[in-house]
Amino acid sequence: MIDTETDHNTAAPAATRVSAFSRHGNFEPPIVVGSSAALQSLLRVASRIARRSAKVLITGESGVGKDVIARFIHSQSKRSGQKFIAINCASVSETLLESELFGHVKGSFTGAHRDKVGKLQQAHGGTMFLDEIAEMSARMQALLLRFLENGEIQPVGSDAPAIRADVRVISATHRDLAAMVGKGEFRQDLLYRINGTHLHVPPLRERKDDIRELVAYTIRRCQLPITLTDSAIDALERYGWPGNVRELQNVIEQAASMAAGSEVTPADLPERVMVIQHRAGYPGAERRRRIADDLYDGLTSGGYRFWEDVHRLFTSRDLSRADLRQLIRRGLTATGGNYRALLQLFGLEQEEYKRLMNFLAAHECVVDYREFRQMANNASAK
């Protein structure tokens, strides 16, 4: 059953709550917010996929709501009355992940004080959601592949006959699995197994029609006593949202705490939202410093990605050559003039060194590393 909640301030569908009965009582029906053509098209395809039994691979940038789509698929499937169990593969170590998925027997390793039923066995008849599957180690990939091939579970330390489980597996990642296969970082046979059907969740910058509804939903959900001015909403709609829906929700909560009263204006929004839009608002050097600091903080924290965010801002002319050079200077200051160390600092792979240098050279943005080496040497000599 689909029940549409209406935001009376905008007189538009603000959230779609998908109701699903589970006799296990563990499943929280998802609320999918937005009425953009891109999102509605995604939900129509997801509904068709849900009625089948194929495994699903969901891709998309961090923060777009891949977990919400996974829950939506489960809620629309024949398994909706059974358990939906999720695990983030990036949040646990290899040893713990094996125990979490397959279970273990008492005494199988230090700290195994009792038998434990794994999540795959708990999800029998239902759905298992493997978030950030690209972060699995090679060994865990092999163990998962074996389960997907025969449905058998062997708890850690057990020599008893394998247990069989009927589980629909939905996987998700923000990474390019095909590229990882090419580099030998992800098993090709496992990719074939998990990619029974593929869904890509578009980033928020490609469905900006959803921003007003997401803002209204966040205000209601968090019970924030605020309203946003039209100019504040316009600013949100112009921003690129590298952190997607998750970043938008954080921005609204932050703005609520910064506002002097109940009305949020552009002045109450975080600087990163406004700084690129107000290119002429500061003297040149100060504006470049602010932009470089914001992008640097985003890259080093993982909130931004170089090719998806910095490169996109540059090619769309929201970022000037001087801005990009200032960002590189900030990075070289931190690495002591080492361009290869800049790769790790900015979340790039070592194999991307040549691509980065070619990009900078093509746009006359290569910064001489020698002054930063000298600064690092002088600092170490003191």
Identity at 338, one-letter amino acid code: N
Better pLDDT: 127 or 156: 127
Q: Mapping DSSP to helix (H, G, I), strand (E, B) and coil, where does residue 60 land?
A: coil
Q: 19 pLDDT exceeds 50? A: no
- Comparing CA positions, the residue from 243, 244, 205, 245 lying closest to residue 221 is 245
**Of 270 and 152, the one with more pLDDT:** 152
CATH 3.40.50.300 correct for 2-202: yes
Instruction: Return the minimum-mean-pLDDT range out of 103-117, 205-219, 353-367.
Output: 103-117
Q: What is the pLDDT of residues 97-128, one digit of tens each?
A: 999 999 988 877 777 788 889 999 999 999 99
Distance CA 333, CA 327 (A): 10
Chain mean position to CA 61: 5
Rounded Cα distance between 291 and 302, Å, is 16
- Evaluated on CA atoms 141, 143, 147, 149, the torsion sign reads positive
E strand spans, the chain: 2-7, 12-18, 31-32, 56-59, 84-88, 103-104, 116-117, 127-131, 152-153, 163-164, 168-173, 197-200, 227-228, 263-264
Question: What is the C-alpha separation between 307 and 303, in angstroms, rounded?
Answer: 13
Q: What is the mean pLDDT of the segment spanning 318-330?
A: 88
Query: Are the C-beta atoms of 128 and 171 separated by less than 8 Å?
Result: no
Q: Give 85's strand partners.
A: 128
Given 1.10.8.60, 1.10.10.10, 3.40.1360.10, 1.10.260.30, which CATH number is that of 207-274?
1.10.8.60
CA distance linking residue 302 with residue 308, whole number of Å: 12
Residue 155 pLDDT more than 60?
yes
Which tokens hold the place of 255? 């703005």
Beta bridge partners of residue 15, listed in sequence order: 5
pTM as predicted: 0.74
Q: Look at residue 79 and tell me whether its pLDDT is greater than 70.
A: yes
Please write the tens of the pLDDT for every residue from 237-257.
988 887 899 889 989 998 998
Distance CA 211, CA 216 (A): 9
